[in-house]
Amino acid sequence: MEKRIIVALDFNEAKIALNLVDSLDPELCRLKVGKELYTACGPDLLKQIQDRGFEVFLDLKFHDIPNTVAKAVNVAGNMGVWMLNVHASGGQAMMEAAREALLEFGSQRPKLIAVTVLTSLAQVDLHQIGIECSPEEQVSKLAFLTRDAGLDGVVCSAAETRLLRAQLPKEFCLVTPGIRRATDATGDQKRVLGPADAVRSGSNYLVVGRPITQAKSPSEALFEFNSAIASVS
């Protein structure tokens, strides 16, 4: 079975994170380690998660000058992560430097994707930082820039996947956060979609946090998300 659910480990303590990890099956999902958990626990916890059989999406959203990003990406490659990301708004030169930093890993290199527009941002938020176009237009611009830089895909809202899938090559990967069932609270996500609708729209991988990690039974919640995806696959 293709593992399309990526469970976000949004914790700041190793014990809590590992308790959740031990309740999940590495055959049914991948895991995302982001800034909070990585800052708190570092690469040692990353290795403990990998030793349990899980593939890891290292979600640190690198955004700096090309040389700095390239060095950080290379270090992540040596950690054996499955996927990592940069910010597309860092520019084409930065993204190309990141891609080139992974060439030495050959067929074992991690997938490299770029963040377009954070799912917490709506039109008014973009205007506040000087971007006058709509979120959809900005996502499309940054997705094409990412493709031109030779990366594997982008992080985007499920609201934009149908548009991007129509515009970009089939093999270009779309990773979608902000996935919620009808009964789930949206929290700080402003552009959300259900798992089945996200897959229908063209998402390859769905990032799910609180609806699974804060569920009474995370394994049952994961089963529900996988079942929803299977119904349209």
Catalytic residue among 32, 47, 61, 170: 61
Question: What pLDDT was estimated at residue 182?
Answer: 61
Question: What pLDDT was estimated at residue 128?
Answer: 95
Question: Which residues of the chain carry a pLDDT beneath 70?
Answer: 1, 181-192, 233
Locate the domains of the chain by residue range.
5-224
Please state which architecture CATH assigns to domain 5-224.
Answer: Alpha-Beta Barrel (3.20)
Question: What pLDDT was estimated at residue 179?
Answer: 87
Question: What pLDDT was estimated at residue 190?
Answer: 46
What SS3 string covers the chain?
A: CCCCEEEECCCCCHHHHHHHHCCCCCCCCEEEEEHHHHHHHHHHHHHHHHHCCCCEEEEEEECCCHHHHHHHHHHHHHCCCCEEEEEHHHCHHHHHHHHHHCHHHHHHCCEEEEECCCCCCCHHHHHHCCCCCCHHHHHHHHHHHHHHCCCCEEECCHHHHHHHHHHCCCCCEEEECCECCCCCCCCCCCCCECHHHHHHHCCCEEEECHHHHCCCCHHHHHHHHHHHHHCCC
Question: What pLDDT was estimated at residue 189?
Answer: 46
Question: What pLDDT was estimated at residue 233?
Answer: 62
Question: What pLDDT was estimated at residue 191?
Answer: 47
Would residue 111 show up in a list of annotated catalytic residues for this protein? no
Question: What pLDDT was estimated at residue 181?
Answer: 65
